[in-house]
Structure 1
Amino acid sequence: MSTDERSVIDLFSLQGKVAVVTGACGWLGSAMSRALAEAGAQVVVTSRDGGQAAEFAATLPGDGHLGLGFSQGDTDTIPGFVSEVVERMGKIDVLVNNAYGGTAPDIDNATAEDFNQAYHVGVTAYFLLARDVMLHLREQQRPGSIINIASMYGVVASYPSAYEGLSAGSPPNYHALKGGVVHLTRHLAAYWAKYNIRVNAIAPGPFPKPEVRDSVEGFIPRLEEKVPLGRMGRPEELKGAVVLLASDAGSYITGQNLLVDGGWTAW
Structure 2
Amino acid sequence: MADALHGKSIVIIGGTTGLGLSAARACIAEGARVVVVGRNAESAHRAQVELGSSCVALAADATDPTTAPRAIEQAVTHFGGFHALYHVAGGSGRKMGDGPLHEITDEGWRFTLDLNLTSLFNSNRAAARQFLKQGSGGSVLNMGSVLGWSPSPAFFTTHAYAATKSAIVGFTKSCAAYYATHDIRFNVLAPALVETPMAQRAASDERIQSFIRTKQPLDGGRIGRPDDLDAAAVYFLSDGSKFVTGQVLAVDGGWCVSEGQTDE
Question: TM-score over 0.5 for the alignment?
Answer: yes
Question: How many residues of Structure 1 are paired with residues of Structure 2 in the alignment?
Answer: 250
1:102 and 1:117 map into 2 onto residues whose CA distance is 9
- TM (normalized to structure 2)? 0.87
Q: Which of residues 89, 101, 106 in structure 2 aligns to 1:112?
A: 106
CA shift, 1:78, in A, is 4.0
Change in CA separation of 1:102 and 1:228 when aligned onto 2, cut-off 3 Å: closer
Identify the residue that residue 259 of structure 1 maps to in structure 2.
Answer: 250
CA shift, 1:156, in A, is 1.3
1:93 matched to 2:83? The reply is: yes
1:150 and 1:198 map into 2 onto residues whose CA distance is 16
Identify the residue that residue 17 of structure 1 maps to in structure 2.
Answer: 8
- TM (normalized to structure 1)? 0.86
8 Å contact from structure 1 (residues 54, 66) kept in 2: no
Change in CA separation of 1:40 and 1:81 when aligned onto 2, cut-off 3 Å: closer
The worse-fitting range, judged by mean Cα deviation, of 253-262 and 48-57 is: 48-57
1:93 and 1:64 map into 2 onto residues whose CA distance is 15
Percent identical pairs in the alignment equals: 31
CA shift, 1:84, in A, is 4.1
SS at match of 2:103: coil
Identify the residue that residue 121 of structure 2 maps to in structure 1.
Answer: 127
Identify the residue that residue 48 of structure 1 maps to in structure 2.
Answer: 39
Q: Which of residues 192, 200, 208 in structure 2 aligns to 1:219?
A: 208
1:246 matched to 2:237? The reply is: yes
Identify the residue that residue 179 of structure 1 maps to in structure 2.
Answer: 166
The worse-fitting range, judged by mean Cα deviation, of 102-111 and 14-23 is: 102-111
Aligned pairs (5 A) from 1:22-101: 22-60=13-51, 63-101=53-91
Moved over 6 A (4+): none
Structure 2 gaps, min length 5: 259-264
CA shift, 1:175, in A, is 0.5
SS at match of 1:231: coil
1:80 and 1:19 map into 2 onto residues whose CA distance is 13
SS at match of 2:206: coil
Identify the residue that residue 236 of structure 1 maps to in structure 2.
Answer: 227
CA shift, 1:145, in A, is 0.6
CA shift, 1:213, in A, is 5.3
User: Amino acid of the residue matched to residue 153 of structure 1?
Assistant: L
Q: Deviations over 1:4-37 (max 9, x none)?
A: xxxxx36x61111111111112221111111111
2:58 and 2:67 map into 1 onto residues whose CA distance is 13
SS at match of 2:130: helix
8 Å contact from structure 2 (residues 99, 160) kept in 1: no
RMSD: 2.0
2:200 and 2:122 map into 1 onto residues whose CA distance is 32
8 Å contact from structure 2 (residues 9, 75) kept in 1: no
Q: Which of residues 137, 143, 149 in structure 2 aligns to 1:149?
A: 143
User: Amino acid of the residue matched to residue 37 of structure 1?
Assistant: I
Q: Deviations over 1:228-260 (max 9, x none)?
A: 322221111111110010111111111001100
Change in CA separation of 1:134 and 1:214 when aligned onto 2, cut-off 3 Å: closer
8 Å contact from structure 1 (residues 203, 260) kept in 2: yes
CA shift, 1:51, in A, is 4.3
1:152 and 1:28 map into 2 onto residues whose CA distance is 15
